[in-house]
Amino acid sequence: MANSTAEKTKAASAEPVSMMSVLAPAVGWLIPGAGHMIQKRWIRGLLLFISIATLFVLGLAMQGRIYKANGGDILDILGFIGDVGAGGLYIVTLAADWGQGAIAFATADYGTKFMIVAGLLNFIAVADAYHIAIGKKQ
């Protein structure tokens, strides 16, 4: 039993890194769902894109605040990590200087959380795209 576990671990570590196992997570991070689409999981990729992009855009429309890279408060750092998960959506938002957050709107805080969650969900989607690429998942 111990031998078979050791053999499996050895075999797994000996597997060469395929091009897709690097490309799928990278593309999936940049464009939510694209990591699945380039592996011909069209419907899954499309649903992931719609879900993550809609959540992020709704957050922006609710006047949510986008976190920039910072070394200050721990919650600000965690907010940045969550936001950056949205990849291209985050980059476009920063470049266009959107997501400044309007204190006047009570729902702006919901919007901020929507954008963080969209980024975190994209991290999960990226991990899933990687698992498909290495053959761990269908």
Q: How far is the CB of 98 from other proteins (least distance, A)?
A: 11
CB 114 within 8 A of CB 54: no
- Contact residue for other proteins among 29, 80, 90, 114 (CB under 8 A): 114
Residue tagged 């721990």 (tokens): 74
Residue 130 lies near other proteins (rule: CB under 8 A): no
Q: How far is the CB of 51 from other proteins (least distance, A)?
A: 4
Site for other proteins in 44-103 (CB under 8 A): 44, 47-48, 50-52, 54-55, 58, 61-63, 102
CB 23 within 8 A of CB 12: no
Q: How far is the CB of 127 from other proteins (least distance, A)?
A: 7
Q: Which residues make beta-bridge pairs with 65?
A: 100
Q: Which residues, in sequence order, are CB contacts of 19 under 8 Å at separation 6+?
A: none
